[in-house]
Amino acid sequence: MESVKLTRLIEKMKLENLTPEIDVTDIHITQPDINRPALQLTGYFEHFDATRLQIVGFVEYTYMQGLSEERKREVYDEFMSYDVVAVVFCRELKPDPVFMAAALTHRIPLLSTSKSTSAFMAEAIRWLNVKLAPCISVHGVLVDVYGEGVLITGESGIGKSEAALELIRRGHRLVTDDVVEIRKVSDDTLVGSAPDMLKHLIELRGIGVVDVKALFGTSSVMDTQNIDLVIRLEDWDRDKEYDRLGLEENYTEYMGNKIVCYNIPIRPGRNLAVICESAAVNHRQKKMGYNAAQELYARVQSSFARKREE
């Protein structure tokens, strides 16, 4: 099961730790969803998922303020007994002394943020969905080309890194070379990133490892990008029939998500960078409703119709 350290959430969301006495370095979050414990504060604990991050907003806070001291001790103690991963108070709200004492007794971290409840929930869920998404690693190069995430795959040594380097030189951005970590963020979205060890580095046979960020500047790299298009490089086979119109899309699949895939044959004289740029722009046009192959087909059909009329 994927997990993310609570300390990373604290750092990312700039949370204030209200219980510095509690060591949070070994606490991990395993669920991207969150919970607002309104029902639990009333004493209803059926189907309570304590593994979720618990968020206390203004509504929960005002309800807690109206409880008697005896009821607070009873409900808080039962709430904390579920080994809650952490409780975040939004709008800079602070827990009352009874809640603080119960948290310290059960070793439950209490955190605080100045953000509104809805804003914090949305940001936390988005970030956790990415960090906790199912992940696989594939061999390839991921480059941002005109805003489209292009995953270049193919056999080792076929020229993926060289094509990526030329794209970078032409103003596009490298996400990762050699190893692409693909996370399934949703049923429609795959996000690619680089392993920490290989971030911003590219390998060129005969030269070695090159630091793209140092050579071309921070504008030449990015940490993550959606995978919109796959370009599979392969050796030219003169006996193979290649698609020359593109009326029908070919797809490849990663973790159940289908991605448009172009098979590009390699032979001397073909400029891979220009081909990748053209594929990215063409794919973008199709998403915007324009298909050049269908336009050509319509013109041919129109020409045949005119000749029949003559």
Measured CA to CA in angstroms, residue 87 lies from 59, 66, 260 at distances of: 15, 19, 42
Helix axes 6-13, 117-131, angle to 10 degrees: 130
Closest CA to 72 of 47, 108, 96: 96
Residues annotated within the binding site for Mg(2+) are 161, 203
Residues annotated within the binding site are 154-161, 203
Residues annotated within the binding site for ATP are 154-161
- Strand locations in 2-147 (E): 4-5, 16-17, 28-29, 34-35, 53-56, 87-89, 110-112, 135-139, 141-145
Closest CA to 82 of 63, 101, 103, 99: 103
- Contact between 173 and 222 (Cβ < 8 Å): yes
Which two tokens mark 82? 């579920």
> Where on the phi/psi map is residue 140: left (φ > 0), alpha (ψ -120 to 50), or beta?
left
Give catalytic residues, as residue numbers. Answer: 139, 160, 178, 244
C-alpha dihedral, 180 to 184 to 189 to 193, nearest 10°: -30
**Residue 174: in which H helix or E strand, if any?**
strand 173-176
Neighbouring C-beta atoms of residue 46, cutoff 10 Å = 6
C-alpha dihedral, 70 to 71 to 72 to 73, nearest 10°: 60
Q: Strands 87-89 and 53-56: what pairing?
A: parallel
Look up residue 58 and give its amino acid.
Answer: F
